[in-house]
Amino acid sequence: MMVWERSLSAGIARLGKGGIDAILLDLYLPDGEGTVCFDEVLLAARSIPIVVLTDRDQEEIARQAVERGAKDRMLKKHIDRYSFGLVLRQILARAASEDALYAERERARVTLNSIGDAVISTDQSGRVTYINPAAEKMTGWSRHEARGRTLTEVFHLLDGDTREPAPNPMELAVQKNQIVGLPHHAVLLRPDGSESAIEDSIAAIHDKDGQITGAVMVFRDVSEARAIELRLSHLAQHDGLTDLPNRTLLTDRLSHSVALAQRHKRQLAVLFIDLDRFKQINDSLGHAVGDKVLRAVAKRLMAVVRGSDTVGRLGGDEFVVVLSEVENAQNAARHAERIHAAVTESIAIAEHDVQITISIGVSIFPDDGEDADTLITCADAAMYHAKENGRNTYQFFTPGMKTPHGALQRL
């Protein structure tokens, strides 16, 4: 059904009653004309498509109306029953399509603004076209500041291992025309100097003809996950009480030291250290004091060795020191004496003054073995003989020593 109104005021009054799908507006009415007329109708019917009617000498006014929001313009003399129906159907179809497109864009906007992942899009030249709130927070750039800037300005990426600037991921996605990910251990640096470990994926954006028009990147902060990963990795390789390398890490480092010693034709020494009568400390003073004694011994061992050496705890009251390079057996003996002197000083724990002694077994590479397990076994055997010879001393491994059954079990 069509409704005709002859004045601007009557038309606006009719709009107030609702039920109008489209408006055909003559810009020159008795009580209003030109853009003023159009603006009043647009204000009264924001969501209704408007087609303006003009004469040839009013084309400029009609063009201005289209710029202000009119859907189309028509010359009055070209209007007939057929053309009017055709234009009306086209306008309504276009309005429905625009409404659907707006709804789709609004859903996308709300989704992108509410998700936890950060999103940045760029045009083909690499300049930022969109950044969602999560990305604003992570990069330290607001959408107004970021828009139009190059991605490298807004997204300052570092290689977490080398601390060098990382390649622009958007450029890589565009060049390869495929989804790409950031390098492992990528770090995002913010303008204030703070940083976050991140992971992401980047993909090129295409137009309807398949041509690349830009790229979009989705990324997230994985700092907490990385920290947990590092912590778990550390716990898997270190003793929980003393934080020294455990058997796994100790053996790995010893194997590495053996490989270097072989390559450079050097000697190294392994010292197997056991606290004498440690069970008596636990039984008489309690396990809490015993644990403090073990931590004190670990600190003293770390303080007396070189930076290139390794101190590890095998468990209980057993420690191993890897001297990564020794000139000869006498040099290893001096290290053993220095370790013995440092560890056996009395330890003050609460009201207790704990005095301990230690037995040390020493094996030398390559004389006593050429792999980590053999060297530890031989040093353990030498320590066992030191205990048999009165404790509180050190003993070098000799070929005549028999490896004790207990040593084999400890390995």
Q: What is the pLDDT of residue 409?
A: 35
Report helix, strand or coil for 102: helix
Taking alpha carbons only, the member of 310, 301, 388 closest to residue 336 is 301
Mean pLDDT for back-to-back runs of 10 residues, the chain (411 residues): 76 79 78 82 81 78 81 68 62 62 58 73 88 89 90 84 78 75 79 84 79 84 82 91 95 95 94 94 91 95 94 95 92 94 90 91 95 95 92 92 50 33
**Catalytic residue numbers?**
317
For 336, residues 6+ apart whose C-beta sits below 8 A from its C-beta are 271, 360, 362, 394
For 205, residues 6+ apart whose C-beta sits below 8 A from its C-beta are 121, 212, 213, 214, 215, 216
Q: What is the pLDDT of residue 11?
A: 77
Produce one character per residue of 136-147: b if its CB has 16 or more CB atoms within 10 Å, e if not.
bebbbbeeebbe
Q: What is the pLDDT of residue 95?
A: 62
Q: What is the pLDDT of residue 251?
A: 95
Burial of 184 (0-12, 13-18, 19+ CB in 10 A): exposed
Domains delineated in the chain:
8-111 (3.40.50.2300), 116-226 (3.30.450.20), 238-410 (3.30.70.270)
Per DSSP, the residues of 380-406 read HHHHHHHHHTTSSSEEE--TTPPPPHH
How far, in Å, CA of 411 to CA of 398, rounded?
19
Residue type, 365: F
How far, in Å, CA of 144 to CA of 407, rounded?
69
Taking alpha carbons only, the member of 111, 185, 196 closest to residue 155 is 196
Q: What is the pLDDT of residue 372?
A: 95
Q: What is the pLDDT of residue 17?
A: 82
pTM higher than the cut 0.75: no
Taking alpha carbons only, the member of 351, 401, 409, 405 closest to residue 378 is 401
Q: What is the pLDDT of residue 239?
A: 94
Q: What is the pLDDT of residue 172?
A: 75
Q: What is the pLDDT of residue 94?
A: 66
